[in-house]
Amino acid sequence: MAKEIERKFLVKGDGWRSEATSSKNFVQAYIAAMDDRSVRVRLVDGKRATLTVKIGSKSFSRDEFEYAIPLSDAEELLSSAIGIILEKRRYTVEHEGFIWEVDVYGGVYRGLVVAEVELQDEADTPELPDWIGREVTGDGRYSNMVMATENVSAELSHALSRPAR
């Protein structure tokens, strides 16, 4: 079992782009969702797939179990998705010893750009890059599960900066 500990922020500007070291395209959806747990299917660059189970109700620390699955299984599971299938391009940015993941959303959430920083310990306090905006850790509207199952695009319209690249 892995522990996922992360903080989430809105992104302001494009300053992060020059620091990005890699990127991947994700198509993901939820096949089960409850207040404190979810089951997600994800396609990565259309070439590989994972099934992820997350359990926990803390805002930035949960148990996470992730398994590789056949691409054909993932595609079939996507057809059984609850709500919206999310599309995003994830960029990896290294900053002051921490790995940041910057997600640029497409589809219904086109224009939304969110950064997450993975932590080793809940007490970690990473240096925030100048392109980091308001912290949204714990704001359920920015949870991928909520975004997929409840379509909160109207509520997040203030955070959408169209057009996204």
- Kindly report, residue by residue over 66-99, the tens digit of the pLDDT: 999 999 999 999 999 999 999 999 999 999 999 9
Contact predicate 39/53, CB 8 Å: yes
Q: For residue 163, give the 3-state DSSP assignment.
A: coil
Q: Is residue 86 part of a domain?
A: yes
User: What is the pLDDT, as a whole number, of residue 59?
Assistant: 62
- 164 occurs within a structural domain: no
Q: Which two tokens stand for residue 114?
A: 């969110």
* Residue numbers annotated as active site: 30
**Cβ(102)–Cβ(91) under 8 Å?**
yes
Cβ-proximal residues to 7 (8 Å cutoff; 6+ apart), any chain: 60, 116, 117, 119, 126, 135, 137
**For residue 2, what pLDDT is reported?**
76
Note whether residue 7 is domain-resident. Answer: yes
Task: Give the residue from 161, 13, 21, 15 showing the smallest Cα distance to 101.
Answer: 21
Could you give the CA distance from residue 44 to residue 28 in angstroms, rounded to a whole number? 9
User: Within the chain, how many helices (H) and strands (E) appear?
Assistant: 2, 9
Residue 1: per-residue pLDDT? 58
Q: Assess if residue 145 is contained within a domain.
A: yes
Within a domain: 120: yes
> pLDDT 10s per residue in the chain (165 long)?
577 789 999 999 999 999 999 999 999 999 999 988 999 999 999 999 999 999 987 666 889 999 999 999 999 999 999 999 999 999 999 999 999 999 999 999 999 999 999 898 888 999 999 999 999 998 989 999 999 999 998 888 777 765 444
- Look up the domain containing 41 and give its range: 2-159
Please state the domain count of the chain. Answer: 1
* CATH code of residue 27: 2.40.320.10
In a domain, 124, yes or no: yes
Domain membership flag for residue 12: yes
Backbone angles phi, psi at 78, to 5 degrees: -60, -35
Structure tokens at 18: 């020059």
